[in-house]
Amino acid sequence: MFEQIIITWFLVIFVALVPINYRALQALNFGNLFQRSSTWQIKFLMIVISISLAFLVAFAVLTIFREIAGIF
């Protein structure tokens, strides 16, 4: 039962953080790394970075929750 709650929270945190990270990454200028007219490559990079960051943060938060639950 506790694992199902953890998985549900992982998905909620992950899905919520992906668009937030994407919007935050739009503030960075990736145009210097790519050639002109390569917008799809920049968007793809932003999506990959956004998903990766969201996964790492969600995993870290749930690892902390598991440790706290293990203490009690």
Domain limits of the chain? 10-71
- Residue 5: which pLDDT band, with cuts at 50, 70 and 90? confident
Q: Which two tokens stand for residue 12?
A: 């909620």
How does pLDDT run across 14-55, given as a tens digit for each residue? 999 999 999 999 998 888 888 888 888 888 999 999 999 999
Better pLDDT: 18 or 6: 18
pLDDT of residue 4: 87
One-letter amino acid for residue 60 of the chain: A
